[in-house]
Every structure is written in structure tokens, then in C-alpha cells.
Structure 1
Amino acid sequence: MSAKQTIAIIGATGNMGAAIARSLSKGKNRLLLFSHNQDKSQQLAHDIKNSHTSADVESIECKVNASWEADIIILAVPYGAEKEIAAQIRDVANQKIVISIANPLNETYKKMVTPTDTSAAEELQKLLPNSKVVKAFNTIFAADFANPVIDGKQVDSFIAGNDAEAVDTVTELVKTAGFNAIVAGELPASRTLEHMMLLLIQLTMKHNYNWLAGWKILHN
């Protein structure tokens, strides 16, 4: 990305939100951090500035204002929270990139709560019809952001979206975060990507990967 862009991270103090914020602060973009816990988001902004003195990051008290100021909005929230947030930011997210990281898993991590013919990202696109929804960051654990190279291999992070320019922009963000970016296809590919995370969680619980694991496509 050539021009500096403003990125709002909604849910910035959750495990994934904080990991994304810390990783993207290494880039040249401006970060707006929103959390219902203002003390935690202010502390996160402070910690990021201490780690990266050139980081342009601030805590912001209103998700609507954050989304209004942003070029890119990252919903670092559970699937169940997306509908309410989408209703709140719909008008200010017009024509903007909105990144869906959610995986619509049930409480036991055994299946999806969405029907087989859709995905969290596609449902979000319906809720935000004038936004450019892109699926990203959903196939990786929060711990992977601090360790994007596992066993000597850079973790792959998959992206899906209908708008080619938006996908290109998000691809650069994924690279900034330290991952190998792979474009999987248009938004319906999110169905596969969300099931990939379901499988990775199940494998991690079964084989005790200690929540530090990722996907890697091997090819010649």
C-alpha cells in the first residue's frame, strides 16, 4: 500500500484483536483501537507505542467514530457479535473494506452454527451490502502473530473476497503481520476457510499443539 491508511480494530483488546494490533503497528498505517474496556485499549496503545516508537496508534471511545474515520475496519469479535456491530456501523462503513476474522463455531468446537451454504463472511456482507467484506486472519491462532514462523516455516494466512482491489489491500496487511498471504478466491471460499479453522482447533485439542499451529501449503 502506498498511501497511509487508517485501520479501526473493533474488539482490539481480545486475544485476536490485540495480536492483530501489535502486528499491524509495525506497518505505516494509523490504528484506532476500540474496546468496551477503555482502560485495556488505552494500555494496549501505550504498550504498542513503547514497543514501536514510530507507531501511529490510539484508543478511541466509540466504534462508530472509529469506523467513520477508518479506511479499513477489522471486526476482531466473535461471530455472535457481528450482527449488532454491523447495524451500528453500516452507514459509516459505506464503500470501505471490512475484514471478517470470525469463525462461527459452536461452544464445543464440534461444528458450525451457520448453514452449509454460507459463511460468517457472507452473512456479514449481507448485513453490510455497501461495504467490501474480506475474509482474513481467521485461519491462524492469536499466538501465531508473535510467532509467524513455526518449525522454520512461515505460516500461511488465507484471504477471500469479491473485490480484487480490497483483496490486494488486505493481502498487504497480512504480509505486514508477518504471514505468507494466499488468496483463496471470492467470498464463498470463506466457507472452506472457516472449516479449516474448525479442523485446526480440533487437531490442536487432540494433539496438544499448545495453540501455536498453522496451515502451510507445500508446492513446487
Structure 2
Amino acid sequence: MSTKQTIAIIGATGNMGSAIAKSLSKSNNRLLLFANHQDKVKSVVDEIITGNPSAEVEAIACPVNASWEADIIIFAVPFAAEKDLAKAINEVANQKIVISISNPLNETYNGLITAPDTSAAEELQKLLPNAKVVKTFNTIFAANFASPVIDGKQVDAFVAGNDEAAMETVSELVKTAGLNPIVAGDLSVSRTLENMALLLIRLTMKYNYNWLAGWKVLHN
């Protein structure tokens, strides 16, 4: 059994945030859920408890309080919302793992709004200099958390970061979500991962994968 963690999910009512919350609630971790609409957060909490009465999950009314109590903070918010959120939690995120799941897509989904020499995760690390930012879940669609095996194969979730211990902890979390973790490299690898997400979204729209698709590295 992996070490029990307290995990704050900021943006817990969005497609990704709620899917991650439901997925991680099956573990022995404690979940603190925050989003701007408290009534919607309570609905997610109720849904989780209904499905799993022993789940440790609660709605928290303030992202700073949720982050202060947490060992791991998951930013399940759009890239555009990260700057203000990072500013708010900067002090309480000191030495904590912060997971970046966002993809800085443009409005037409045909490119990224970040410069080629950076990524959403690296920008977040600049905003939270004392936190350990780790990129993961960004190449995963929300539906993958309920169905992490597609065509008989477990979907891969890539992990990138500058802190080895943090990446190990996050890899365990990825396994808890039913996905296969692959440590891809340092945080700069997020540039590639965010482009992989863009490609997967474009392919899904082109070939109508129904938002149930994922990356798999095949090897022997």
C-alpha cells in the first residue's frame, strides 16, 4: 500500500478535475476538492461517497486552505487560470508537489499559445519557484479515467519533472488512477507532452475517436 497522501484538486468540477477526483477516491488518499461553485463541488463529493462510502473526500471553500493542507496539489484548471491561482497559493505550496495537467491550446485547437522554448508546466514552475512542479495527465482524456484500458491496452500517462522523488510519488498516483506511468524526463519534456496532447485532440476530432483515445508506447 502506498503512503497515504492528502491531495487537493483545484478545479474539481471540470471534466478533468471531477474524473481525476473520482478515480483517485478509490485509493486510501484523502481528497480535498475546490472549485468556484461550491454546490457543484458538493455534488461531486456526494457522487463519490455514494459510489464508495469509505472514501475520504471533502469540499473545501478556499483554494489556499485546500493547498495548505495538501501534500500534492493538482491544478485541474485551464492554462489561462493558472497565473492567478499560483499567486494565491504560492506561499502554501512551498516544497509541495504541484501537478500541471493543462494544455495551452489556442482557440482553434491548431497550435499552442506558449512560446516553443517553454511549456505550461515550466511557466507554472516559474510562478511557484519553491514547489516541485510535475507534468502528468495532460495527454489523458477525462473518459480515460473511467476506462483506462482501451483495445485491451492500458493507456500510458507520461510524467515529467525536475525532482526524482516527486516524479516517483506522482507515478504511484498515476498507477492509482489505473494508468501506466512512464517517466519521460525533466520538466522541459512537457513541451513535447503538450504537443502530443494537441495532436491527440486533433486526431480525435478528425477521426471521431469519441474522446476515448490515448497514447501507448509499444515495445518488447
Decide: shared fold, TM above 0.5.
yes
Residue identity opposite 2:135 in structure 1: K
Cα shift at 1:43: 1.1
Residue identity opposite 1:207 in structure 2: Y
- Aligned counterpart, 2:140: 140
Q: Any stretches of 5+ residues in structure 2 without a counterpart?
A: none
Q: How many residues align?
A: 220
Output the CA distance in 1 between the equivalents of 2:50 and 2:208. 33
- Aligned counterpart, 2:6: 6
Q: Any stretches of 5+ residues in structure 1 without a counterpart?
A: none
- Asked if the contact 2:154/2:179 (under 8 Å) is kept, the reply is yes
- Aligned counterpart, 1:85: 85
Cα shift at 1:3: 2.8
- Aligned counterpart, 1:177: 177
- Aligned counterpart, 2:40: 40
Output the CA distance in 2 between the equivalents of 1:61 and 1:137. 25
- Aligned counterpart, 1:113: 113
- Aligned counterpart, 1:157: 157
- Structure 1 stretches of 4+ with a deviation exceeding 6 A read none
- Name the % identity: 72
Residue identity opposite 1:107 in structure 2: E
Cα shift at 1:2: 3.7
Output the CA distance in 2 between the equivalents of 1:73 and 1:206. 34
SS at match of 2:117: coil
- Aligned counterpart, 1:18: 18
SS at match of 1:134: strand
SS at match of 1:133: strand
- Asked if the contact 2:2/2:172 (under 8 Å) is kept, the reply is no
1:89-112 CA-partner distances (Å, limit 9, x unpaired): 000000000000000000110000
Cα shift at 1:50: 1.1
TM-score for both structures, normalised by structure 1: 0.99
Output the CA distance in 2 between the equivalents of 1:191 and 1:31. 29
